[in-house]
Amino acid sequence: MKSILPLITALCLSPLVLLCAAEGPKIETVDVVVVAKGSSACSLYYEPGAPKSVRLAAEEIQRVIRLATGVSLPVVTEATPLMICLGDCAAARAAGIGVEAMADESFQIITHNHAVFIVGKDTGDGRTTSRGGLSKGTLFGAYAFLERVVGARWIMPGELGEIIPHHDRLVVPPMNIREAPSFSSRQLELSDPPVVRQWALRNRVGTQPGDAGALWVDSSHSWNERLPQAIRDSHPDWAAVNPYPEKPNYKFCTRNAEAVSAFTKSLCQEVGTDQSRYMISASPSDGQSFCHCDRCKAFITLNAHGKESTTRNLLDFYNAVVRVVAQSHPDRMIGALVYGANEYPPAEMLKLDKHLFIEWAPLNVYGLGLYKDAYRAEFDHLAERWKRIAPNLAYSNYLHWHRSRGCAPLAPAPELMKLEFATLKKHGIHSVREAVDPNWAYAGPNNWLLARLMWNADGDVDALYCEWLTLSYGEGAEAMGLVYALIDDAFRRFKQQDEPFHYAAGQYDIDKPKIEKIYLPLLPRIHTLSQEALAKANDQRAKQRISLFVDNMKFFHRELRRAGYVRADAGYEFVLSDDEFAKFETSSSETPGSPPSWYFMRKTQPLPSYK
């Protein structure tokens, strides 16, 4: 890694850009000088009625250029000869740049007539796209401009995650670039205080359905809301015949006409009440206790691994519901989750109503389950099959997530990201939603990589990963990269050699087998490498980021000791006695500008007991 990291950094931070051919005005053949000799004649321009997202674009460009050069560009609402022109406006249209043919969230950056134009598809204030979401094309173009020209990066939330190189002279080379996202909705499910929401926006993703893109997707568990338990209790004949009597039964029979009619009536009432929502969910409550009455059993099959599949019953239910809803609300979509007992498509080719939006959530691969050979081998085929059945197809996964008890550090799985995003892009998936870990002490590379791939699924995963390590840890990048690689390799071996093949509830928990097989053997190496990284890092901010990881290891080791896995005299830098830990915990807190981490360290759940 050491030999290529400086090269990757130089390539990623270079202000030079490869030109992308695009129709429109002829681009300049000379540079546009924005800042030189401590001053600038350039302004930031948008029309007076520009949306808030365009005004934010001006604020962000002004702020970053000021930090990079010490020069603050004025923001004006009248065009000037030398300007960075933002958004759809008369000046852009006069230059031949229009937004009519642009896709939602797309943008164009072009140098023309001694000016820089950053123009994207933008929804007006208080408005949404035709698919219920938001389009912030100009703002996304502004962030792309700052990345390409200034070299800015947002690798973590907060000031500690912001990278802004210094420039004595800031020049925009001839440019003609167009970009659009690979997916219309891009959501990272994680704790989202304002600093995290801001980080997500700068990386062109969201943390909630309403800010995740031009498409609003809702396939949340909804049966308990549509048919509350009190109503189901008054109609015991509606209840699903539960194949798991030891578990609560939150399901009703999807082939019971009265139950389906009552559910549909409730859904229609909500659709009629809330005119603002493009999509409303009809998805089941959580759990796999789907009905096994005689009518339902006639359609239950076995999937490729010999497990029951109730997919046909659920899809028939979705079709029955949506056909009624669409009669009175033809402009709405119904979100429909398929996961667990329904994650495998039916053998026969069904025709789903055009108002259904299927969200495929392959439970079998939650918690890095895609490392298992059979699941990895079938992933492309399943995506292709679902896309043939459901043209409106979204994807949701907890693949890169574990319930991280005790501050157990997790690592990104670049190998799985390559397969996952190439497959989703290949089959035209519209929406991607990934659950991720909110503890930024160790989760930074995973969360950043997923955000970058959600915007551009063709991104070079290895280069992006090297970029993150270099920007985050400086000279300590090689050692910290090895820490993550050791954890990733250990998870891969565990998934392939130790964990039972079929999905089980503990698959995404940090449980006793994972602690013993993955973490305990790695503690000496993690200690040595993290100390090496701290010693090599010359930059104070890089040391702070490495120290966050080490602080988290202090919490992890404390929890291992409490659960009986280790002793207090291991001799590692992150091993503290109870008294030392008490002083450490009370004297430390989130450093101003740091990403959220200490909150999650202090709130961590105990590890399972060794005994």
Q: What is the average per-residue pLDDT within 52-78?
A: 98
Report the 3 state secondary structure along 188-242.
EECCCCHHHHHHHHHCCCECCHHHCECECCCCCECHHHHCCHHHHHCCHHHECCC
Residue-level pLDDT at 83: 98
Return phi, psi of residue 93, to 5°.
Answer: -65, -35
User: d(Cα 341, Cα 322) in Å, to the nearest integer?
Assistant: 21
Q: What share of the chain in percent tops pLDDT 90? A: 82
User: d(Cα 300, Cα 307) in Å, to the nearest integer?
Assistant: 10
396, containing H or E segment: strand 393-397
Q: How is residue 161 annotated by DSSP?
A: G
User: d(Cα 368, Cα 489) in Å, to the nearest integer?
Assistant: 12
CB 387 within 8 A of CB 420: no
Residue at token pair 């939602």: 104
Residue 453: burial class (beta carbons within 10 Å; 0-12, 13-18, 19+): buried
Q: Is the pLDDT of residue 141 over 70?
A: yes
Sheet bearing 115-120, strands edge to edge:
75-76, 43-45, 83-86, 115-120, 107-112, 176-179
Q: What is the average per-residue pLDDT within 259-274?
A: 94
Identify the weakest region by mean pLDDT among 40-54, 220-234, 385-399. 220-234
- Structure token pair of residue 137: 């094309």
7, containing H or E segment: helix 5-13
361, containing H or E segment: strand 356-361
One-letter amino acid of 298: A
Q: How is residue 103 annotated by DSSP?
A: P
Q: What is the pLDDT of residues 507-525, one digit of tens each?
A: 999 999 999 999 999 999 9
* CA 241 to centroid of chain Cα atoms: 37
Q: What is the CA radius of gyration of the chain?
A: 26
- Structure token pair of residue 69: 């050069």
- Structure token pair of residue 370: 């895609």
Quick one: pLDDT band at residue 24, thresholds 50, 70, 90? low
Domains within the chain, CATH numbers bracketed:
13-180 (3.30.379.10)
Residue-level pLDDT at 399: 96
Report the 3 state secondary structure along 513-534.
HHHHHHHHHHHHHHHHHHHHHH
Q: What is the pLDDT of residues 285-316, one digit of tens each?
A: 999 999 999 999 999 999 999 999 999 999 99
Whole-number Cα distances in Å, 481 to 412, 484, 486, 526, 552: 10, 5, 9, 11, 17
Residue-level pLDDT at 182: 98
User: d(Cα 220, Cα 431) in Å, to the nearest integer?
Assistant: 14
Q: What is the average per-residue pLDDT within 349-357?
A: 94
